């Protein structure tokens, strides 16, 4: 099962139904003022589960404070924890972030990021006599439902292993020697309509074709494979094979902070994390720097139409940013001059800047003026995927990405706040603040 929380299954299981011709079988069943973090206390959340941050010790000054940002990292990563898209923790994090934005003076709304992702298919095998044997669909199997003769293939699915009778059949192929993807290609080339791969040892196995397969494909244990081999020897042995892609409905959200009706500039970062860990660097760090930049830039925010965003569901495919960009009206898109993406800004000592060339070069000038050393790579991660700036660039909106590469805890359970040095959070924040000031001054 996919490690998504709060999910709704859509679609059905993958199953294979095998039966002798003589025997018919039923189909099987198959989320104030500027200063240090403010505790969350909205009706949308469970305040008791979020620790109240220490009372403001000293007033936070007008400049970007690495320590203030670090307090947000601790809240998001240590207190809330792993923030998988669609989970309660992601929702609590959104409430926390919205509360901070409001405490600086912004309006903050949460907008829905609803989408479906493919999940692993659950597979079942039913043989004559109503005996059910578990099967797994192999990743990237084609979907489909079919009835066909069951034909055993002698070897492991080399082209020459397929008898003429494989044409139009569901073929039974042993695991081993060839990749699953190659077995499927060879079977399809031999005219097979479906393929069952049985393990070359007793137990079950899991696997993937790597890329989309042409025909429905399932895997069965070695034991089940032996049973099916026996069945295939019976005259008229038929198999009914069905693979249905299961999908999971995910309800994530973005948090959008505004000072006016328009967004001429957006500074943001994703606030969801992978399941494996609390995502302190990836990306409580960028979210925290976004919040602290919002606090520092509040005096400019109304006149310069500054917006700040925390994106949901980045880790599942940039969903939050893609859905936001897709939802922009032509006028909103026209008004939006630049986006700054902060992702993984707390660990490592080499700054990389990528994205739209003109912006990257401008960050180079900002870095020089502030005395930070950065590597400019306009065609680095900014060009392809990787993080939320890509959604804006793909829509023709200039965007720039601040990040560092060297994080030994990337996507691990050890991506914890204790590995982030608060002073590490300052350069990205200060460069962002200065960049936005220059962009806004230039109009
Ligand atoms: N924060 C990472 C991207 C990243 C990686 C930034 C290394 C800086 C250094 C992001 O959350 C991520 O994991 N992206 C995925 C792709 C995404 C579409 C799931 C990636 O880069 O593989
Ligand atoms: Zn990530």
Nearest CA to ligand 1 atom 21: 386
At 290, is the pLDDT very low, low, confident or very high (cuts 50, 70, 90)?
very high
Task: Give the mean pLDDT of 409-420.
Answer: 97
**What tokens appear for 206 in the block?**
């899991």
**Cα of 387 from ligand 1 centre, angstroms:** 6
**Cα of 274 from ligand 2 centre, angstroms:** 7
Which ligand ends up closest to the CA of 350?
1
pLDDT of residue 31: 27
| Choice among 43-57, 134-148, 240-254 with the minimum mean pLDDT | 43-57
| Choice among 47-61, 123-137, 335-349, 421-435 with the minimum mean pLDDT | 47-61
What percent of the chain is predicted at pLDDT more than 90? 66
pLDDT for 324 beyond 60:
yes
Q: Which atom of ligand 1 is nearest to the CA of 317?
A: 18
Q: How far is CA 353 from CA 66, 213, 361, 380, 425, in A?
A: 19, 38, 9, 8, 15
Nearest CA to ligand 1 atom 14: 386
Nearest CA to ligand 1 atom 15: 386
What percent of the chain is predicted at pLDDT more than 70? 82
pLDDT of residue 203: 87
User: Which has more confidence, 318 or 141?
Assistant: 318
Q: What is the mean pLDDT of the chain?
A: 85
Using most ligand atoms within 8 A of CB, pick from 322, 387, 390 the residue to mutate for ligand 1. 387
- Non-local CB neighbours of 331 within 8 Å, separated by 6+ positions: none
pLDDT of residue 107: 98
Using most ligand atoms within 8 A of CB, pick from 273, 278, 282 the residue to mutate for ligand 1. 282
pLDDT of residue 5: 37
Could you tell me the maximum CA-CA distance found in the chain, to the nearest angstrom? 85
**Cα of 221 from ligand 1 centre, angstroms:** 35
Architecture of the 14-32+118-247 domain: 3-Layer(bba) Sandwich (3.50)
| Choice among 144-148, 318-322, 426-430 with the minimum mean pLDDT | 144-148
**Cα of 441 from ligand 2 centre, angstroms:** 33
Nearest CA to ligand 1 atom 4: 386
At 45, is the pLDDT very low, low, confident or very high (cuts 50, 70, 90)?
very low
pLDDT of residue 41: 36
**Cα of 411 from ligand 2 centre, angstroms:** 6
Q: Which atom of ligand 1 is nearest to the CA of 316?
A: 19
First to last CA, the chain: 50
pLDDT of residue 277: 97
pLDDT of residue 23: 30
pLDDT of residue 401: 94
Nearest CA to ligand 1 atom 3: 386
pLDDT for 47 beyond 50:
no
- Non-local CB neighbours of 365 within 8 Å, separated by 6+ positions: none
pLDDT of residue 55: 38
| Choice among 40-49, 109-118, 239-248, 409-418 with the minimum mean pLDDT | 40-49
Which ligand ends up closest to the CA of 285?
1
pLDDT of residue 438: 98
Which ligand ends up closest to the CA of 407?
1
Encode pLDDT of 7-41 as tens digits. Answer: 433 333 444 444 433 232 222 222 233 444 554 43
Encode pLDDT of 188-220 as tens digits. Answer: 999 999 999 999 998 889 888 888 899 999 999
Task: Give the mean pLDDT of 390-401.
Answer: 95
Task: Give the mean pLDDT of 155-181.
Answer: 96
Task: Output the ligand 1 site: residues, CB below 6 A.
Answer: 282-283, 314-315, 317-318, 343-344, 385-387, 403, 405
pLDDT of residue 147: 85
pLDDT of residue 138: 86
Q: Which atom of ligand 1 is nearest to the CA of 352?
A: 8
Nearest CA to ligand 1 atom 13: 315
Task: Give the mean pLDDT of 311-315.
Answer: 97
**What tokens appear for 371 in the block?**
């005395």
Encode pLDDT of 250-285 as tens digits. Answer: 999 999 999 999 999 999 999 999 999 999 999 999
What b-and-e string marks burial along 42-75, b requiring 16 or more CB atoms within 10 Å of the CB? eeebeeeebeebeeeeeebeeebbbebbbbbbbb
Q: Which atom of ligand 1 is nearest to the CA of 405?
A: 9
* 92 DSSP 8-state letter: H
Residue ranges per structural domain of the chain: 14-32+118-247, 62-117+250-442
- Non-local CB neighbours of 164 within 8 Å, separated by 6+ positions: none
**Cα of 273 from ligand 2 centre, angstroms:** 7
**Cα of 194 from ligand 2 centre, angstroms:** 36
Closest CA to 142 of 213, 220, 209, 194: 213
Q: Does pTM top 0.85 for this prediction?
A: no
| Choice among 39-48, 212-221, 230-239 with the minimum mean pLDDT | 39-48
Q: Which atom of ligand 1 is nearest to the CA of 283?
A: 1
pLDDT for 3 beyond 50:
no
CB neighbours (10 Å) of residue 105? 17
Nearest CA to ligand 1 atom 20: 386
Q: Which atom of ligand 1 is nearest to the CA of 411?
A: 13
**What tokens appear for 212 in the block?**
């989309």
At 380, is the pLDDT very low, low, confident or very high (cuts 50, 70, 90)?
low
Third-level CATH fold of 62-117+250-442: Aminopeptidase (3.40.630)
pLDDT for 405 beyond 90:
no
Tell the residue number behind the tokens 């079977």, with chain if given. Answer: 187
**Cα of 294 from ligand 1 centre, angstroms:** 23
Closest CA to 30 of 175, 235, 246, 252: 246
Tell the residue number behind the tokens 């397969």, with chain if given. Answer: 213
pLDDT of residue 43: 33
Q: Which atom of ligand 1 is nearest to the CA of 315?
A: 19
At 392, is the pLDDT very low, low, confident or very high (cuts 50, 70, 90)?
very high
pLDDT for 132 beyond 70:
no
**Cα of 264 from ligand 2 centre, angstroms:** 27
Nearest CA to ligand 1 atom 18: 317
**Cα of 386 from ligand 1 centre, angstroms:** 4
């Amino acid at each position: 099962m996919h490690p998504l929380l709060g999910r709704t299954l859509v679609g059905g299981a993958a199953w294979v139904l095998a039966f002798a011709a003589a025997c018919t079988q039923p189909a099987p069943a198959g989320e104030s003022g500027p200063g240090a973090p403010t505790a969350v206390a909205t009706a949308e959340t469970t305040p008791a589960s979020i620790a109240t941050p220490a009372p403001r010790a000293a007033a936070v000054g007008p400049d970007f404070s690495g320590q203030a940002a670090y307090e947000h990292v601790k809240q998001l990563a240590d207190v809330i924890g792993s923030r998988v898209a669609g989970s309660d923790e992601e929702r609590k994090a959104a409430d926390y972030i919205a509360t901070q934005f409001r405490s600086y003076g912004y309006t903050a709304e949460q907008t829905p990021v609803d989408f479906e992702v493919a999940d692993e298919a659950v597979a079942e095998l039913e043989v004559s006599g109503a005996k059910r044997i578990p099967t797994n669909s192999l990743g990237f199997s084609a979907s489909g439902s079919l009835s066909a003769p069951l034909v055993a293939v002698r070897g492991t699915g080399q082209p020459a292993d397929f008898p003429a009778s494989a044409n139009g059949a569901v073929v039974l192929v042993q695991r081993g020697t060839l990749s699953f993807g190659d077995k499927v290609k060879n079977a399809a080339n031999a005219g097979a309509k479906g393929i069952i791969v049985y393990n070359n040892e007793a137990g079950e196995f899991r696997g993937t074709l790597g890329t989309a397969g042409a025909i429905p494909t399932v895997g069965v244990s070695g034991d089940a494979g032996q049973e099916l081999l026996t069945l295939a020897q019976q005259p008229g042995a038929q198999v009914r094979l069905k693979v249905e892609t299961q999908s999971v409905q995910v309800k994530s959200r973005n948090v959008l902070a505004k000072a006016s009706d328009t967004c001429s500039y957006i500074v943001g970062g994703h606030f969801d994390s992978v399941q494996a860990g609390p995502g302190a660097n990836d990306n409580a760090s960028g979210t925290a720097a976004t919040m602290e930049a919002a606090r520092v830039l509040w005096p400019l925010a109304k006149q310069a139409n500054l917006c700040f965003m925390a994106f949901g569901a980045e880790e599942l495919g940039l969903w939050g940013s893609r859905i936001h960009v897709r939802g922009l009206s032509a006028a909103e898109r026209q008004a939006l001059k630049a986006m700054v993406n902060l992702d993984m800004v707390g660990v490592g000592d080499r700054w990389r800047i990528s994205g739209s060339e003109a912006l990257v070069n401008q960050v180079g000038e900002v870095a020089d003026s502030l005395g930070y050393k950065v590597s400019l790579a306009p065609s680095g991660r900014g060009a392809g995927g990787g993080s939320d700036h890509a959604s804006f660039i793909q829509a023709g909106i200039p965007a720039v990405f601040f990040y560092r590469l060297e994080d030994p805890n990337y996507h691990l359970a050890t991506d914890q706040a204790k590995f982030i040095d608060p002073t590490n959070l300052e350069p990205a924040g200060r460069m962002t603040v200065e960049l936005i000031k220059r962009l806004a001054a230039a109009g």
